[in-house]
Amino acid sequence: MKKDLMFLLCGTLAAGSALADNYVISTPNTSLVITANKKQKAYIQYYGSRISKDDINSLFDSRSVMWQDTYPTFGLHSSGEKALYVTHSDGTMSTDLCVQEVRQYKESNADLTEITLNDTVYPFTVKQYFKAYNGTDVISTWTEIINSGRKPVTLYKYVSGVIPVPRAENWMTHFNGGWGSEEQINEEYIGNNMKVIRNTDGVRNAHTSNPSLMITLNGKPQENTGSVIGATLAWSGNFKLKTSAGPNYLTLFAGIDEENAHYILDGGKSLVTPELILTYSNDGKGGVSRAIHKWARKYGVHNGEKPRDILLNSWEGVYFKVNQKGMAQMMEDIASLGGELFVMDDGWFGNKYPRNNGSTSLGDWEVCREKLPEGIDGLTAAAKKNHIKFGIWIEPEMSDVQSELYEKHPDWVLSQKNRQLITGRGNSQVILDLSNPAVQDFVYGAVDRLMTNNPEIAYIKWDANAGIMNYGSPYLPKNKQSHIYVEYHKGLTKTLQRIREKYPDLVIQACGAGGGRASYGVLPYYDEFWTSDNTDALQRIYIQWGTSMFYPAITMAAHVSANRNHQTGRTVPLKYRFDVAMSGRLGMEIQLRDMSDSDKEYARRAISAYKEVRDVVQLGDLYRLVSPYDNKGMASLMYTTENKDRAVVFVYKMTHFSGQSFARLHLDGVDVSKKYRIKDLTPRDPKRPASFDGKVISGAVLKAAGLDINSALNGEYASLALELTEVK
């Protein structure tokens, strides 16, 4: 080694804690311990149940610390998984980060720990953040990567954070699917290999896999027991969640997927990576879900603590056949059932190219005068007349090659100079280049114009029916084409922030051809998401079950649709369809005109029942009781208020048989010291409710002995919705 370079390596701490600067970052029930001595590497030592500063020595003496570099970099110690790959301006491919400073401070809603890590040689810094959100068990982490030099550096990998998990029998729970089958649960043993969950759609990152997972510390994932870490990446674009197993611990690396996304940081510039949301629970998957849901309602979802309206969406009722008379009729119908909002879906716009199917008009956000001669005013007037609110569908990130927008601005679309465009839906759909500020203005303007001209609009359904194609930006320079995956989402976020500044009370639903946008990357700006285009009640139980692992009921739009179901052709009773949709944000998506009077009467009662328990479902704590994935022939879940004085229980029969019975249903969410009056919320015949109706049963019995639900589940597709109210 040359003499003058001798002291330019970052030090590594030997085992032992006496001289170490240790930081305990805590929430009410969890702690993360970091060792960060100046001029040394920083390490994550522990993440688990809450401990105090006084326990630090014991932690080291027990030798259970993990010594996981907080942000391992490539190039010196090159083997093993890394968080950061950088090529510096002189071609050097290594980075060596050393603690410069640790700051701890309070923000209005959280306690922050900020570790500044400087490269030992290059003017290059990583600020690493750990944020403990007040009143929740969530700690998040992310980084700011700063090039303080004058020349550009290239980032080839730049994860948000790493988290070590002690080796034992570790299992992973993750979520995969596709259109119509989102969020299917997969549970697998994490052996000595690597496991990778990633998404490369480019626009929507939750269809084929969700940026969320759980890892157990001690055996197979259980609903109510076992130690589990939950992690979800608050990013709307491509992601990679990767576990890499060592002998002592395995490490989760979570961040933006780096493939085809290397990022050039010019001199003086920085890149902030997305927040990785973490929680830890000793109460199994249920504990993780409740902790994440609580955080989400408070901090992760726009207006997450404000109960949502009951709506009718026009899509499955009329598809593209939108007109004034039909919309007015639908508004009258939903209002007569007690609904509170009507949402006109696709098909209302375009004049040169009226939108009659999925192959034209995206971008031409002008009312189609032929279909709606009275304009949006005519529709809001009809809503007003029926005392309900009005909402509208748009797909503002997209265009069609057959549209006035594309004819005027072909350069606003992602495309490649020397290649013909490939197209999506309707052989026509193309994607706007959101890295371009002019396009961001256009997207903002589309919403702003609608809202300025029609301030009565109370709700927007924001759809996105294509992933990135034609990976090329006419706006970005030649050497920064690989920024598209990142800049698209930075542009989207900026646009959404602008919209939110001006329209904080507008309800916006995130839709991505169904559940493609169930992700905390977008939820700070959206009130909810469309869970799936599959509205079949039976399949919805599986989809909503998986979705509920990380997303609270208030975000999960669930609609009662037609019989036969349009996606599966299945025939399911109306009560069952309601009982399934009522476990999320209830809505309807059906031509009400075609419903029988007795079904309408039933729907009216079910809607009114939902209003009674809406706050418990949408704001309550979720207890999953019997999983549909366990093949017990049924599924059941319940919500309780925080002090457990009220609860709602849903039970769904999944298979029909004779000569077999269901096990007793143990209501894990009740308070065993309380007594509850039980009410059958949605009996098909109000004169013949389930036998529990009106009974007062102790929490101790509901939990320990359980309910025998067999007599209440007669026939195929039987279901139950019970309300529990404390009796003092």
Interacting residue ranges for ligand DGJ, rule: CB under 6 A: 315, 345-346, 393, 463, 465, 511, 513-514, 530, 533
List strand residue ranges (DSSP E) for 665-708, in order: 675-680, 696-698
Does the bond joining 570 to the residue before it have cis omega, within 30 degrees of 0? Answer: no
Q: How far, in Å, CA of 166 to CA of 247, rounded? A: 9
Torsions phi, psi of 654, nearest 5? -105, -30
Task: State in angstroms the smallest separation of the CB of 512 from ligand DGJ.
Answer: 7
Q: How far, in Å, CA of 395 to CA of 378, rounded? A: 22
Task: State in angstroms the smallest separation of the CB of 279 from ligand DGJ.
Answer: 30
Q: How far, in Å, CA of 667 to CA of 705, rounded? A: 9
Q: Which is nearer to ligand DGJ, 162 or 394 (CB)?
A: 394
Say if CB 430 and CB 469 are below 8 A apart: yes
Q: Which is nearer to ligand DGJ, 315 or 542 (CB)?
A: 315
Q: Is 711 exposed, middle or buried (0-12, 13-18, 19+ CB in 10 A)?
A: exposed
Task: State in angstroms the smallest separation of the CB of 516 from ligand DGJ.
Answer: 8
Task: State in angstroms the smallest separation of the CB of 567 from ligand DGJ.
Answer: 11
Say if CB 541 and CB 629 are below 8 A apart: no
Task: State in angstroms the smallest separation of the CB of 361 from ligand DGJ.
Answer: 11
Q: Which is nearer to ligand DGJ, 513 or 580 (CB)?
A: 513
Return the residue matching tokens 């997927």. 257
Q: Which is nearer to ligand DGJ, 442 or 530 (CB)?
A: 530
Q: Which is nearer to ligand DGJ, 136 or 399 (CB)?
A: 399
Say if CB 431 and CB 425 are below 8 A apart: no
Q: How far, in Å, CA of 212 to CA of 202, rounded? A: 17
Task: State in angstroms the smallest separation of the CB of 414 from ligand DGJ.
Answer: 20
Q: Which is nearer to ligand DGJ, 315 or 525 (CB)?
A: 315
Q: Which is nearer to ligand DGJ, 204 or 644 (CB)?
A: 204
Record the tokens describing residue 427, joined without a space: 């052989």
Q: Which is nearer to ligand DGJ, 75 or 426 (CB)?
A: 426
359 contacts: CB under 8 Å, gap ≥ 6:
400, 402, 425, 426, 427, 428
Q: How far is CA 663 from CA 286, 357, 579, 693, 694, in A?
A: 20, 49, 20, 20, 23
Q: How far, in Å, CA of 555 to CA of 49, rounded? A: 28
Q: Which is nearer to ligand DGJ, 511 or 670 (CB)?
A: 511
Residue type, 172: M
Residue nearest to ligand DGJ (CB): 346
Task: State in angstroms the smallest separation of the CB of 388 from ligand DGJ.
Answer: 20
Helices (H) and strands (E) in the chain, counts: 12, 36
* Cα angle: 342, vertex 345, 348; to 5 degrees: 110
Q: Is the backbone of residue 54 left (phi > 0), alpha (psi -120 to 50) or beta?
A: alpha
Q: Which is nearer to ligand DGJ, 216 or 313 (CB)?
A: 313
Task: State in angstroms the smallest separation of the CB of 607 from ligand DGJ.
Answer: 21
241 sits in which H/E element: strand 239-245
Say if CB 604 and CB 337 are below 8 A apart: yes
Task: State in angstroms the smallest separation of the CB of 308 from ligand DGJ.
Answer: 17
Q: Which is nearer to ligand DGJ, 342 or 623 (CB)?
A: 342
Angle between helical axes of 597-619 and 574-581 (0-180°, round to 10) = 20
